Amino acid sequence: MEFVYQDAKLLVCVKPAGVAAGDVPALARQALGAPEAALYPVHRLDQPVGGLLLLARTRRAAGDLGRDLAEGRFLKSYLAAVSGAPVPGAGTLEDWLLRDRGRRMTRSVPEGSPGAQYAALDYETLQQQGGHSLLQVTLRTGRTHQIRAQFSARGWPLLGDRKYGGREFCPLALWSCRLAFTHPKTGARLDFFLPPPKEAPWTEFDEIWKL
């Protein structure tokens, strides 16, 4: 596992796509050469999703960062490649999402549906190529499978997302590209950006590596 930043309070690591969220701390300890190190995930990424992930190294730091996340002071942005061309090319998606635990899926439902949670995200189209669109997505809320469900509900499933209507046989086109947050001890604002690896399906879009 790679790290893009580390100090006594936190680690910003690069989660490989395909790694389960629960396995990340063990992989980080192995990379640190510290099998007994205390590590606390501040947020999570679905198993098929790779990219930037933040781990706290103390309980207090985890608590401070978790509060910032819950109160909207923690920025998380993703790159996503979808089928079709979202209209308009930039905007905000708002839905009420319901988690189907039996099917392990999330779906958009009418407001007021029992158990549904409000979900919102902002998106911007960066490039269109061959009937596909590259988007930058910034979450306002953090619901399970939120990005996948909200775009699928509008007929723009993510490339490779067979669970939500994607037809392409490629890895899921969702990458955690940016984290911005306040350091729990110093108060400095930290901002990290990491493009995805140069492999399919990302190599369809040359604009990624110009960001």
Q: Is 148 helix (H, G, I), strand (E, B) or coil?
A: helix
Active site residue 46: yes
Angle at 13 between CA 137 and CA 2, to 5 degrees: 120
DSSP state of 101: T
User: Which token pair is 193?
Assistant: 């950006």
DSSP state string for 79-101:
EEEEES--SSSEEEEEEEEEEET
H or E stretch covering 3: strand 2-6
Tell me which of 46, 64, 68, 206 is the catalytic residue.
46
Residues classed as catalytic: 46
